[in-house]
Chain A
Amino acid sequence: MSTNWHIPPERRRLARPAQRPVLARNIFLYTIVIAVSALMFFPMVWTFYSSLKTNPEIYANAWALPELPRFDNFAEAWRVGHLGRYVWNSIVCTSTSVLAIVAVASLAAFAFSRLMFRGRDLLFAMFLLGLIIPVQIVLIPLYSAMAQAGLQNTRTSVILPYIAWGLPLSIYILRAFFLTLPSELEDAARIDGCSTFGVFSRILLPLVKPGLATVTIFSSLSIWNEVLLAFVFLKDDSVKTLPLGLYAFYSYHITDLSLLFAALTVVTVPMIALFLIFQRQLIEGLTVGSLKG
């Protein structure tokens, strides 16, 4: 029973009905799309143009466009917030954690979806706990454990929790993706003499690329923006991550909004770039869905 998911363009066009209703529909759709896009994107636009204003301008009217765009706010924010060093730390923490999450979670998700073993469901349910336990309350025992293990004030002390907290969701998503793959794939491979690990790495893993891309994006986002653990665990300037740098703009009850917005713009750009890159992976992975035989 084969499923051919790849339909050649000619056949696709044949499936479409007549022209005029499509035009009306498209106009309707485009209107909605543009409206929704504006709704979703306006914060970023607002953050960006606010970062071009001076503080008195922002405090006088939070919504007005800048009178004279001040691009030196970015350089100033970079300097005051020590953003250069923090960007590097954030990159290290995020990429290490995400790579580890993808590796560890895909192995586990494979096992939970395709292998039979005792306690499988119970162990999987246990990982669900990770979705529920709030970080805040486990903070002090965890911090103390890190200190005792000699890891205090290192990037490792946050990377390990980031991985651990990223696992439940990632395992859940990847398992769901693995489950959608037909078991015939595995049978075919085994008949050809493939080992379990081979099935995993050479056959199934490439097919869940969208899942991997999803997990990568979501994990990256939450780790990149994570504040609480970073604040408590990272004390040296040499290991602090980017969100901590933003607090340089909060002095006692006073927020330097123009520099804060500039820094926020800087902080968000890498994440947008990341998403743009992985968007393509998502598409590419989705078109590689064909099976022979």
Chain B
Amino acid sequence: MVRKPAPYLYILPALALFVGIILLPAAGTFVLSFFNWSGIGRDIEFVGLENYRAAFRDGSYFVLSLRNNIVYLVATFIVEMCFGLAMALVLDFKLRFFGVFRMLFFSPMVLSMMPVGLLWRFVYSPEIGILNGALKAIGLGSLARPWLGDPATALYAVCLTSGWRYAGFYMILFYAGLQRIPKQLYESARIDGASDLGCFRHVSLPLLREVFVICVLLCATGAFQAFDLIYAMTGGKPYHSTEVVATWLVEVAFAHNRFGHGSALAVMMTVIVFVIALTYHFYARRRETIEY
């Protein structure tokens, strides 16, 4: 069979890079979480678990940011999955010019967060935004509100934008998954009298399981890393209603000069997400293979 050292050689470059650039600095962060440090100067003070305890006291928005993160995760998941899958299915019909449409569907992914945040801020803007403008134009002016200024709607507005932006990514994954399904299965389903919807439910959906598993995992981990877009759109405001863990820890570590506390938050967040991801990964693996 295969000689012992060979497999390790294959993963060596990846491992070396990963350990050197991510793991070791992360270990540094872990160590730092037990100290108080303002980020400058050499005044470092050991404080044990104090940084961890401080996350749950008044003035800390860690718990709120966790809650917001979970809402963000669920909301963006729904938007991204549904939208991404729908677009992939539509593309699968191979209408004319579908290559053009595929590019158009994917185009939000090409933009960096700056223009996306900028644009959507204008869309949601209370006085000069097109969302309120459109609502007023069709007589639903009473629904017009400061979407990003009202703590009740701000988070959902951001989730919608995030979902809009990343749907293209999931569309690609679903689309690739759909191409993997042998055409004969659709044929036999149609010969058995299945409609379009039937084909979708009984052929496409089950065979996309593998892709779903990936998508859920990516969505979940990505949701906790979410920073750029939220920072560009609301910066966690108003009143921390759109504060997620990543924005809060950056604020704490760099704007408040509490690097040790920020490190502790990062460690906690990493642990939480890691547990979730690991659980999900092993649960999904057990139900992985589909024979056909």
Are the chains A and B members of one assembly?
yes
Number of interface residues of B (CB under 8 A): 92
Shortest Cβ distance from B92 into chain A, in angstroms? 11
Check if A141 is an interface residue, CB within 8 A of chain B: yes
User: Which 10 interchain pairs have the tightest Cβ spacing?
Assistant: A225-B112, A141-B28, A164-B21, A111-B10, A137-B266, A117-B7, A108-B14, A141-B25, A37-B104, A131-B221
Give which listed residue, B115, B128, B277, contacts A128 with CB less than 8 A. B277
> Are B281 and A128 within 8 A (Cβ)?
yes
Check if A275 is an interface residue, CB within 8 A of chain B: yes
Check if B142 is an interface residue, CB within 8 A of chain A: no
> Are A137 and B274 within 8 A (Cβ)?
no
- The answer to whether residues A137 and B262 also contact, given A40-B107, A41-B107, A111-B7 and a CB cut-off of 8 A, is yes
Check if B29 is an interface residue, CB within 8 A of chain A: yes
Give CA–CA (A53, B119) in the complex, Å.
16
Chain B residues positioned under 8 Å from A128 (CB to CB): 221, 274, 277-278, 281
> Are A107 and B13 within 8 A (Cβ)?
yes
> Are A3 and B182 within 8 A (Cβ)?
yes
Chain A residues positioned under 8 Å from B217 (CB to CB): 172
What is the count of residue pairs linking A and B with beta-carbon distances less than 8 angstroms?
238
**B1-59 residues at the A interface, CB under 8 angstroms:** 2, 4, 6-8, 10-11, 13-15, 17-18, 20-26, 28-29, 32, 39
> Are A104 and B266 within 8 A (Cβ)?
no
Number of interface residues of A (CB under 8 A): 96
Give which listed residue, A43, A117, A126, contacts B111 with CB less than 8 A. A43
Q: Which residue of B lies closest to A220 (CB)?
A: B110
Extra A-B contacts (7), CB below 8 Å, given A40-B164, A44-B110, A138-B29 = A7-B187, A105-B14, A111-B10, A117-B4, A133-B22, A176-B214, A264-B111
Interface-forming stretch among A22-30, A65-73, A75-83? Answer: A22-30
Chain B residues positioned under 8 Å from A37 (CB to CB): 101, 104-105
Give CA–CA (A110, B92) in the complex, Å.
29
> Are A136 and B227 within 8 A (Cβ)?
yes
> Are A132 and B273 within 8 A (Cβ)?
yes
> Are B29 and A164 within 8 A (Cβ)?
no
Chain B residues positioned under 8 Å from A227 (CB to CB): 112, 114, 228
Give CA–CA (A163, B15) in the complex, Å.
12
Chain B residues positioned under 8 Å from A26 (CB to CB): 95
Give which listed residue, A4, A7, A115, contacts B7 with CB less than 8 A. A115
Give which listed residue, B32, B179, B225, contacts A286 with CB less than 8 A. B179
Check if B249 is an interface residue, CB within 8 A of chain A: yes
- The answer to whether residues A107 and B10 also contact, given A164-B20, A169-B218 and a CB cut-off of 8 A, is yes
- The answer to whether residues A112 and B11 also contact, given A5-B183, A164-B18 and a CB cut-off of 8 A, is yes
Query: 6 interchain pairs (CB within 8 A)?
Result: A17-B190, A108-B15, A129-B270, A130-B22, A164-B18, A169-B218
Check if A259 is an interface residue, CB within 8 A of chain B: no
> Are A7 and B190 within 8 A (Cβ)?
no
Give CA–CA (A73, B186) in the complex, Å.
52
- The answer to whether residues A145 and B25 also contact, given A12-B183, A271-B110 and a CB cut-off of 8 A, is yes
Check if B124 is an interface residue, CB within 8 A of chain A: no
**A163-201 residues at the B interface, CB under 8 angstroms:** 163-165, 167-169, 171-173, 176, 179-180, 196, 200
Check if B202 is an interface residue, CB within 8 A of chain A: no
- The answer to whether residues A104 and B17 also contact, given A17-B190, A62-B128, A123-B11 and a CB cut-off of 8 A, is yes
Chain B residues positioned under 8 Å from A5 (CB to CB): 182-183
